[in-house]
Amino acid sequence: MRILIVEDEEIIAADIARALGGMGYVCDVVHDGEEADFRGFTEDYDAVILDLGLPRLDGLTVLRNWRRAGRGFPVLVLTARGSWQDKVEGMDAGGDDYLAKPFEMEELLARLRALIRRSKGHSSIILECGPLRLDTRAARVTLRGRPLAISPLEYRFLSYLMHNAGRVVARTELMEHIHDDIDSRSENALEALVARIRRKIGADLLQTRRGMGYVMTCPGREDEA
Ligand code: CA
């Protein structure tokens, strides 16, 4: 899952990025409205955390620009404490949820999970695919009830494909959503990663669509692909 963090207070931004990184998210951090505006138009995010008071361009304007242009990713708006006007304006501008500062990191994580879950059409914090269960709150995976030993990168891969189960995910899209930096994105590395995961979960669940990408096919679930 790739998240854009827009927050001009650098300590808060770094705290959020650290917390999200520890829970298997890949983060881009920007500190002003113009850069945020640009990223929202050029990158594909699974969610955005958006502070409203920003230098260069305020958060509400950024959000309205995105929505007017049809950018539909879920947005969690950070507001000043006690400012109900901020909340109302934020929601009306196209925000999906809000959180007043100062906030508890656990609450931010829970709200983010809920936003991503809803946007991908899931209702539970546990994603299931046949014998595979992914707990989005604990960032853990079990196979037939037993903990599966996986690396952070393998978790990010499984999380993205399980959130998008039944849909063929293109290689470039997959790499964008699981790698921190552009340098580590390579087709060969991705193939090696897929081979490793197949050895752990079995080849049936994770299928290759030649020339298109990868798909999680869950037994008993309609395959939209
Ligand atoms: Ca601010």
> What is the tens place of the pLDDT at every residue in 198-224?
999 998 999 999 989 999 999 877 654
Domain 2-120 is classified in which CATH homologous superfamily? Response regulator (3.40.50.2300)
pLDDT for 65-81, tens place per residue?
Answer: 999 999 999 999 998 87
Ligand 1 centroid, distance to 80 Cα (angstroms)? 8
pLDDT at residue 225 in the model: 45
* Residue whose token pair is 């409205």: 33
99: nearest Cα among 120, 82, 78:
78
Q: Collect the ranges in the chain with pLDDT lower than 70.
A: 222-225
Ligand 1 centroid, distance to 126 Cα (angstroms)? 34
Ligand 1 centroid, distance to 135 Cα (angstroms)? 32
Query: Where do the CATH 3.40.50.2300 domains begin and end in the chain?
Result: 2-120
Ligand 1 centroid, distance to 128 Cα (angstroms)? 38
pLDDT at residue 186 in the model: 87
Ligand 1 centroid, distance to 119 Cα (angstroms)? 26
pLDDT at residue 82 in the model: 74
Residue 152 to residue 172: CA distance in whole angstroms: 19
pLDDT at residue 223 in the model: 52
Query: Where do the CATH 1.10.10.10 domains begin and end in the chain?
Result: 126-216
Q: Which CATH class is domain 126-216?
A: mainly alpha
Ligand 1 centroid, distance to 27 Cα (angstroms)? 18
Residue 166 and residue 221 in contact, taking contact as beta carbons nearer than 8 Å: yes
